[in-house]
Amino acid sequence: MHDTSAAQPAEHGTHRESLAALALGAIGVVFGDIGTSPLYALKESFIGHHPMATDVPHLFGVISLMFWTMTLIVTIKYVLIVLRADNQGEGGSLALLALIQRSMGSTKWMPVVIMLGVAATALFYGDAIITPAISVLSAVEGLTIVSPAFGEWVIPIAIVILIALFSIQSHGTATVGRLFGPVILVYFAILAVMGAVSIAQTPQVLAALSPTHAVAFFLADPVLAFLALGSVILAVTGAEALYADMGHFGRRAIMVSWLYVAFPCLILNYLGQAALVMRVPDAISNPFFLLAPDWARLPLVVLATAATVIASQATISGAYSVSQQAVQLGYLPRLKILHTSAKAAGQIYVPLLNWGMLAMVVLLVLGFHSSTNLAAAYGIAVTGTMVVTACMLSVLMFGVWKWHPAIAGGITGLFLLVDGAYFASNVTKIPDGGWFPILIAGIVFTLLTTWATGRRIVRARLAEDSLPIGVFLASTRGKVPRIPGTSVFLASTVEGIPPALLHNLKHNHILHERVVILTVVIEGVPHVPQAGCSEVEDMGDGFYRMVLHYGFMDEADIPAALANENRAGAPFRPAQTSYFLSRQTLIASSRPGMAIWREKLFSWMVRNAQTAMEFFKLPTNRVIELGSQLEI
């Protein structure tokens, strides 16, 4: 059983970095998104698509909802409970799915759990596209508070910043990353100072922290309060980053930076904004920037823009990591993934995803024009992910951690009630823009499930034509000429003979002195220790079956693994080793499997996937591809 209290990455990380250093890094990367929420959360609650009066009952009701939402969702749900669900230090929906699969095995509920994990991943991509657009746009809109003349420049400036942000991704973020923590720390300090100064002028605003004001809000106007939840949730957007980025900083560092820095600074700022609106109701037009004195607004715009760029960077990096996990776990085709740091394995760059996200983000800015309009689209992906996470957490509590049913049931019920209420409120925003993240999530969900199902069908079709290893060895023993050297045939399964070996024998009528049938297996853990990554079976007559094991965060490098292997008869010499790959041309057919349109989609994904040669780092001058047609 998985130990939920041990093996926390923060404690692992203390051997390399202190808790303070990890917490500082977490402030910069993990809390960038939620830290920029004060730019628009309170404003959208009152002047968004469901306007409210800026009187004390409504102000106190919204602030009370924000405070208790952050307490319940971020502090209790994510920091205290979800962060315990670490898959050897890694977090995120796919890591959680892999943990549940590894711990529970195959059960009747596992297909449902898999669909939940895939759905959460799909929703994440919708969130990852909207976050850079709304964050940067809301910061640049602060220029209109400095001077209304800047109004026509907001969209062009935002687009230039976004293009620059995505353009530098290929160079890596190591240098910029070292600046993230200090910049966001300064940003949080200024949030706290601006809020405290305003609270000092109107201290009665502190009463808004009482949950009675949230209850009174619902009792006085339940419909408006329900609709307001769709904007209040903006205060916790980015909470999923706490879990997704756990592998980088560890549970303890994230907990410390949230409880002692991010949470108090955010609450002070929201209270300060509310106090300002109590004094000057018209300040609701942009309470964040109006909190600052006139002379400080332009510097605040610059700092807020830097913070939103950092928040966007964290989201973009998260999308890269999720894509890498999806590829390794078999939910996406092989993508070109570049490592931008020789020291940090987690720093990667995915060109196709990068430019695709940039195109969508720019279209969002041009299509929605303002952060207010984008706020209508923002939230449904976040709340949908939270509901799915609550469901998967329930499976973990009942099936893996074996908590007492009453405790697990009570916690599950509370989270589903809160998350469900916020999701239901955001559903009302679908006509105003909420359709966009649902559309993106729907497309991604279709791609993920089509690829996973298509791979399963292809493996089944290949297995139909595969020969058992015993039959094959008996039919070739002493009957086929052998030539010097080693041939490595890549196989998708650990059973039978791979198609490439059959085709090579059929057309060339020879075999090498040593034949290795090699299968790469991706385990449901982030990393597999190098010392135990391979299995070798001597099948006789110079035939060997080898299995290489990698984690879903590991980089599969077959030549490097073979260079350290001496159990397959003799060392592998690069100049004497040839790699044989099979490439199938897929033909959509009416055979039972998937709908024709999905089969065609799967075929298109196969054609556009990165080749196995590139993905497994095979030497280009030692690879032979043998093609065939396959009906699916």
| 510: pLDDT strictly greater than 80 | yes
Tokens 């830290």 belong to 35
Q: Which of 445, 434, 416 is nearest to 379 (CA)?
A: 434
In the structure, what pLDDT confidence band is assigned to residue 6 with cuts at 50, 70 and 90?
Answer: very low
The predicted-structure confidence for 418-448, as pLDDT tens digits, reads as follows: 999 999 999 988 888 889 999 999 999 999 9
Which residue stretches of 329-434 are H helix?
Answer: 351-368, 371-377, 380-395, 405-427
Contact 357, 166 (CB under 8 A): yes
Spell out the domain ranges in the chain.
19-428, 458-631
Contact 96, 392 (CB under 8 A): yes
Whole-angstrom distance, CA of residue 342 vs CA of residue 543: 36
Provide the pLDDT for residue 523. 86
The predicted-structure confidence for 598-632, as pLDDT tens digits, reads as follows: 988 999 998 888 888 989 999 989 999 887 777 77
In the structure, what pLDDT confidence band is assigned to residue 577 with cuts at 50, 70 and 90?
Answer: very high
Whole-angstrom distance, CA of residue 105 vs CA of residue 93: 17
Q: Which residues contact 45 (CB under 8 A, 6 or more apart)?
A: 52, 62, 228, 231, 232, 234
Pairing of the two strands 543-550 and 511-522: parallel
pTM across the whole model: 0.83
Whole-angstrom distance, CA of residue 188 vs CA of residue 31: 10
Whole-angstrom distance, CA of residue 265 vs CA of residue 288: 13
Contacts 24+ apart (CB under 8 A), 12-21: 12/89, 12/250, 13/249, 13/250, 13/253, 19/252, 19/253, 19/256
Provide the pLDDT for residue 585. 78
| 479: pLDDT strictly greater than 80 | yes
Average pLDDT in the 559-564 region?
A: 90
Whole-angstrom distance, CA of residue 599 vs CA of residue 209: 55
Query: If residue 349 lies in a helix (H) or strand (E), which one and from where to where?
Result: strand 348-349
Q: What is the mean pLDDT of the chain?
A: 87
Provide the pLDDT for residue 429. 87
What does the H/E/C string look like for 262-275? Answer: HHHHHHHHHHHHHH
Provide the pLDDT for residue 17. 59
What does the H/E/C string look like for 563-625? Answer: HCCCCCCCCCCHHHEEEEEEEEEEECCCCCCCCHHHHHHHHHHHHHCCCHHHHCCCCHHHEEE
Average pLDDT in the 275-301 region?
A: 94
Contact 252, 10 (CB under 8 A): yes
Provide the pLDDT for residue 315. 82
Q: Which of 89, 29, 94, 128 is nearest to 331 (CA)?
A: 94
The predicted-structure confidence for 104-149, as pLDDT tens digits, reads as follows: 877 888 888 999 999 989 998 988 899 899 889 989 999 998 888 8
Q: How wide is the angle at C-alpha 87 spanned by C-alphas 82 and 89, nearest 5°?
A: 90
Q: What is the DSSP letter of 333?
A: -
CA separation (Å) from 24 to 68, 80, 259, 262, 316? 25, 19, 13, 11, 20
Q: Is 512 helix (H, G, I), strand (E, B) or coil?
A: strand
CA separation (Å) from 616 to 287, 556, 573, 612? 53, 5, 17, 6
Per the model's pLDDT, the better-predicted residue between 245 and 392 turns out to be 392
Contact 374, 134 (CB under 8 A): yes
How is 136-184 classified by DSSP, letter by letter?
HHHHHTTHHHH-GGGGGGHHHHHHHHHHHHHHTGGG-SHHHHHHHHHHH
Q: Which of 284, 312, 265, 315 is nearest to 137 (CA)?
A: 312
Average pLDDT in the 83-100 region?
A: 83
Pairing of the two strands 577-587 and 338-339: unpaired
Q: Is 543 helix (H, G, I), strand (E, B) or coil?
A: strand
Q: Going by CATH, does the domain composed of 19-428 fall within 1.20.1740?
A: yes
Whole-angstrom distance, CA of residue 566 vs CA of residue 583: 29
| 344: pLDDT strictly greater than 60 | no
Q: How wide is the angle at C-alpha 540 spanned by C-alphas 534 and 541, nearest 5°?
A: 120
